[in-house]
Structure 1
Amino acid sequence: MKAWTWERYGSPDVLEMRDIDPPLRKEGEVLVRVRAASVNPYDWRHLRADPQFIRLYAGLRRPKPGSILGADLAGVVEDAPAGSAFRPGDEVFGDVQLGAFAELVSAPQGRLAAKPHGLTFEEAAALPMAGQTAMKALETLRPGQHVLVNGAAGGIGTCAVQLAKAAGAVVTGVCGTRNADLVRSIGADRVVDYTRTDFTRSGERYDLIVDLVGNHSLRRFRRALAPRGTLALVGGLTGGGRLFGPLIQIVTGSLMTRFVRQNITPITWEPGAESLRRLAAHAEAGDIRPVIDQVFQFAEVPEAVRHVESRHARGKVVIGGIA
């Protein structure tokens, strides 16, 4: 089968399409023929080992042999274990963490769910990581509350805006000038153009801030947060360095929550079948529809990763035509 592999850390130029042996289905896993995949910042960060603690599990000096990028996928089951909920021919989607930029992948059953009805393979592949992250960040949201999404035009941001609106919140999206109309079109009640206005200095306060950018300090975020509000940190805080920044974010947020009424919550989660099923239900109910910036072909994976790394993509970048 064909797959995109890499043997050293670096830019998308180090990716190579190779013919490799198909994966052997492990016990309890499902063999899926990949029809579409999507690109996340997760992918280029693994490619570059940025932050550097990625090397602790991906390979200290070089990535582990046979490493294949790609977390999100949608495809068709080729083989499944006896007693599985899946059968050959079933259409599925999921987050396999690594391995989706290939024609076949063997994935744990707990990382897959039935593909949402009414969505194409490309649309379904755009949802798993971004959609599950958005759901996790919005867990504390209640109808009528005011939520601000910082980075509203990105993959997670477009999901968060739609899900927050479907939950009955008053939604403010923060984005650049060129994306303002897009963010309004998916449900934002108000848009703040960060090139003109710093929301942390506006004097307005929000019940929930979902940060997907990490471009403000914790002190500035708290200034825009209601006295008992929640700050959901997905993008990381400014400062701290490439190695320790994410760790500082988690420790600082956890410690500060002990001493202030505001809730500082770093968003960390493990993808799972139950959250995928809830995400599929949202899609089928019309609460969320993937915003797709561009669909690249399988031969264009390096260009797709480079486009996501540029941080100019609106919504999700998808790889189509894989198998």
Structure 2
Amino acid sequence: MKAVVCEKYGTPEVLHVVEADKPAPKDNEVLVKVMATTANAADARIRGAVFPSIFNFPVKLAMGFKGPRKKVLGVELSGVIEAVGKNVRHYQVGDEIFASSGASFGAYAEYCCLPENAVMATKPKNMSFEEAAAVPHCALAALHYLKKGNVDTGQKVMVYGASGGIGTYAVQIAKAFGAKVTGVCSTANVEQVKALGADEVIDYTREALSKENTTYDVIFDTIGKAPITTCVNLLEEGGMYLSAVHLELSRILEGIKLSVTSSKKVIGGVAPYTSENLNFLKSLIEEGKLKAAIDKTFPLEQIREAHAYVDTGHKKGHVVLKVNRNK
């Protein structure tokens, strides 16, 4: 089978397509014929060893100092189950699934094995494999943080980075929860964010957040670039600033200070992924309340080009990699 390996950290040029042995599922695993995966910011950060300085040593201690110990990257996928281990009960051959492989990686290959209890669910009926592959990682993160923010009907929610991987889902999920949503993005992405359902859109290249007059119950920074103090000043009393990315130490300390000295809270941390939440997202998709915003699609063989595009920082939504072809 074809697989993409990353032998060392670096630019997209460190990624190589090779021939590898097709894996065999263990007793508690399913073998998935991967139809699609994605090149997202998480994959690009791992490939390039782009970690906040405070986390650089512990992350490399866990993952590898010179390069990833797990050479085949890829954190999300969609595909068809081709074989099941003898102890698997909830899936069968032929099931179409979508899943987060998470820290186990492995999605950058024509086949991968996943444990039955992985963050996995049957694919939404109204999504293609390419669309479904772009759901698990970013949509699960968006759902986790919006739940942490207790987003509910009638609340005012700002999504900073509304045209990115997490942001495009955050806008839609917040709307599904009944919130009034304001998206923040650049000029080029204003119409896209409106099309996702945002009630208002702020073009940060033309309007400074510090001059914003509206206050919000929740501000969700999906890219880690919003000025924390400015955002906290825009919160209602008891409001929450949510950050979906690992912050530099200075921003962590600033967030702690603001949380301690006011009724407003700064919340971050790692988003745990669950099959329960993935099935909840599936229900939103099948109800027509959530869709994947696909920017570009590449064949697996063009993995370097896909990662180079992600590295520009200008992708709109998701970059998908086609792996196997539909028969």
TM-score (norm 2): 0.91
Alignment of 1:186 with 2:196, yes or no, is: yes
Q: Provide, for residues 230-266 of structure 1, a one-character-per-residue CA deviation record: whole Å limited to 9, x for no partner.
A: 11101354xx3xxxx4xx6556645653443112110
Give 1:1-323 correspondences, 5 Å limit: 1-51=1-51, 52-53=56-57, 54-64=59-69, 67-81=71-85, 82-97=87-102, 98-109=105-116, 110-139=118-147, 140-237=150-247, 240=248, 245=249, 253=255, 256-323=258-325
Shift of 1:166: 1.7
Note if contact 2:37-2:323 (Cα within 8 Å) is conserved in structure 1: no
C-alpha change, 1:200 and 1:129, in structure 2 (3 Å) is farther
Q: Which amino acid aligns with 2:36?
A: A
Structure 2 gaps, min length 5: none
Deviations 1:86-116 (A, max 9, x none): 1011000011021101001111222211101
Displacement of 1:216 in angstroms is 3.3
Task: Describe the superposition over 1:18-38 as per-residue Cα deviations: whole angstroms up to 9, x where unpaired.
Answer: 011122323422211100111
Number of residue-to-residue matches in the alignment? 314
Contact 1:136 1:267 in 2 (8 A): no
- AA aligned to 2:5 is T
Residues 89 and 317 of structure 1, relative CA distance in 2, 3 Å threshold? same
| Alignment check: 8 A CA contact 2:82 2:93 kept | yes
SS of the residue corresponding to residue 87 of structure 1 reads coil
8 A contact 2:6–2:67 mirrored in 1: no
Q: Distance in 2 between matches of 1:310 and 1:293?
A: 13
- Counterpart CA distance in 2 for 1:27 and 1:263 is 45
Aligned AA for 1:76? V
Q: Percent identity?
A: 36
Residue aligned with 1:197, SS = coil
- Cα deviation for residue 83 of structure 1 reads 4.0
Unaligned runs of 5+ in 1: none
Shift of 1:60: 1.4
* CA distance in 2 between partners of 1:204 and 1:24 (Å): 56
Normalising by the residue count of structure 1, what TM-score does the alignment of the two structures yield?
Answer: 0.92
Question: Secondary structure at the residue paired with 1:152?
Answer: coil
Structure 1 residue runs of 4 or more that deviate by more than 3 Å after TM superposition: 248-259
Q: Deviations over 1:28-86 (max 9, x none)?
A: 2221110011121110111011113431211012321x511111100001122334201
Separation in 1 of the partners of 2:201 and 2:284?
A: 24
The answer to whether the 8 A contact 1:91-1:115 is kept is yes
Closer, same or farther: CA 68–93 of 1 in aligned 2, 3 Å? same
Cα RMSD (Å): 1.7
Partner AA of 1:305 in structure 2: H
